[in-house]
Amino acid sequence: MYITNERKGWVSNMKKSYYLYKGGRLQRKDNSLEIAYKDGSKKSIPVENVDDIYIMTEFDLNTSLLNFISQYGISIHFFNHYGFYTGTYYPKENLVSGKLLIEQVKHYIDNNKRLNIAKEFIKSASYNIYRNLNYYNNRGKSLDDYIKEIEYLRKQIDFCKDVQELMGIEGNIRKTYYNSWQNIINQKIEFEKRVRNPPDNAINSLISYTNTLVYTRVLSEIYKTQLNPTISYLHEPSERRFSLCLDIAEIFKPIIADRLIFSMLNKKQITENDFEKSLNFIYIKEEKRKEITREMDLRLQTTIKHKKLNREVSYEYLIRLEVYKLIKSFIEGQEYEGFKMWW
């Protein structure tokens, strides 16, 4: 396995994500972005350095700012006071392709083509789950039974006749996987089942938050291409979400989000003291969310030696490559094969 941290030799002018935690106003100042904080302090950000922006608290914006960042293709992801994702400002697409859009739609309305792509998403996601379990099983965790169950379930994927049946298999794989977490995590933290809206315990809160960070990263990568993020194959397309991001994120959640959760919990970087209860849900305290976000950024910039490219690429770049691979399958007619871990 070849893993390094790209930040050691990272190009200084690379665009990056900016996370805003202190309340204030985000505005245009000449040809830069300016953050005017409520305490009177200000910070200037060169717009050409910005990949996307995460607003993690209350912020004022205006149309002048939105028009300005749209020229540079900058998305803004919004989170509420509790760290729950509320939506994304997605600029008007400046990379459009009628041909690609037609092919995306064709692959959706053709049941066989749609099912084959959806199967690849689940094959890849489940294989990456399987690799996670093997990783910890080889380090003294008792996971043999869970591994065998997932091996059995993965064999059922090719026999699925439709997407609904496939989603059922995916649900059983996830259930088995989440049941194994009690053996992976070195802390006694309650986690009986996956609950999303709202998360009812510390682990569910962590999963929701880190999955959202992966989802928004996928969305930002799709924006840099001609793909339409609302035409999806595993998740049903919807008017209120970028469902293709959900499809692609399935592949990378085990690699990026889950491994980050395991690492931070097992190193005691996160404990039950880092959570608060409000009414019927649990949320992560703000300072800990900041730390998780920093760790996520570091993980996204961590590099591996790519088998086919024979060079170091970051986890973030792996997402971009996956998007391009999907485009190639639409345009050139090659069968799409989802990304699978090899380390």
CATH 1.20.120.920 placement within the chain: 98-332
Selection from 158, 179, 180, 178 nearest residue 169 by Cα? 158
Instruction: Count how many residues are written for the chain.
Output: 343
Q: Which of 47-51, 153-157, 236-240, 317-321 has the lowest mean pLDDT?
A: 236-240
Average pLDDT over residues 14-27: 91
145 vs 175: CA distance, rounded Å: 13
Average pLDDT over residues 263-288: 94
How many beta carbons lie within 10 A of that of residue 311, not counting itself? 8
Share of the chain above pLDDT 90, in %: 82
Q: Which of 37-46, 185-194, 293-302 has the lowest mean pLDDT?
A: 185-194
The yes-or-no verdict on residue 49 having pLDDT over 70 is: yes
> Confidence class of residue 11 from pLDDT cuts 50, 70 and 90?
very low
Average pLDDT over residues 213-217: 97
Question: Could you please report the per-residue DSSP string of 285-312?
Answer: -HHHHHHHHHHHHHHHHEEEE-TTT-SE
Average pLDDT over residues 1-12: 34
CATH 3.100.10.20 placement within the chain: 3-89
> Confidence class of residue 93 from pLDDT cuts 50, 70 and 90?
confident
> Confidence class of residue 260 from pLDDT cuts 50, 70 and 90?
very high
Share of the chain above pLDDT 70, in %: 96
Q: Which residues contact 334 (CB under 8 A, 6 or more apart)?
A: 328
Average pLDDT over residues 120-135: 98
Question: Prior bond to 198 cis, omega within 30?
Answer: yes
Q: Which residues contact 316 (CB under 8 A, 6 or more apart)?
A: 217, 221, 300, 301
What is the rounded average pLDDT for all residues in the chain? Answer: 91
Token pair recorded at residue 12? 């200084």
Average pLDDT over residues 157-166: 98
Q: Which of 190-199, 213-222, 256-265 has the lowest mean pLDDT?
A: 190-199
The whole-model pTM stands at 0.91
| CA 86 to the chain's CA centroid | 15
Model pLDDT, residue 325: 96
The yes-or-no verdict on residue 9 having pLDDT over 70 is: no
87: left (phi over 0), alpha (psi -120 to 50) or beta: left
Q: Which CATH architecture has domain 3-89?
A: Ribosomal Protein L15; Chain: K; domain 2 (3.100)
Residue type, 128: N
How many beta carbons lie within 10 A of that of residue 2, not counting itself? 9
Question: Rounded to 5 degrees, what are φ and ψ at 50?
Answer: -95, 125
Average pLDDT over residues 154-168: 98
Q: Which of 59-63, 169-173, 239-243, 274-278 has the lowest mean pLDDT?
A: 239-243
* Orientation angle between helical segments 259-266 and 202-223, nearest 10 degrees: 140
Q: Across the strands, what pairs with 75?
A: 52
Question: Rounded to 5 degrees, what are φ and ψ at 282?
Answer: -115, 140
119 vs 53: CA distance, rounded Å: 33
The yes-or-no verdict on residue 298 having pLDDT over 90 is: yes
Residues 98-332: name the CATH superfamily.
Answer: CRISPR-associated endonuclease Cas1, C-terminal domain (1.20.120.920)
Sign (positive/negative) of CA torsion 69, 75, 81, 87?
positive
> Confidence class of residue 10 from pLDDT cuts 50, 70 and 90?
very low
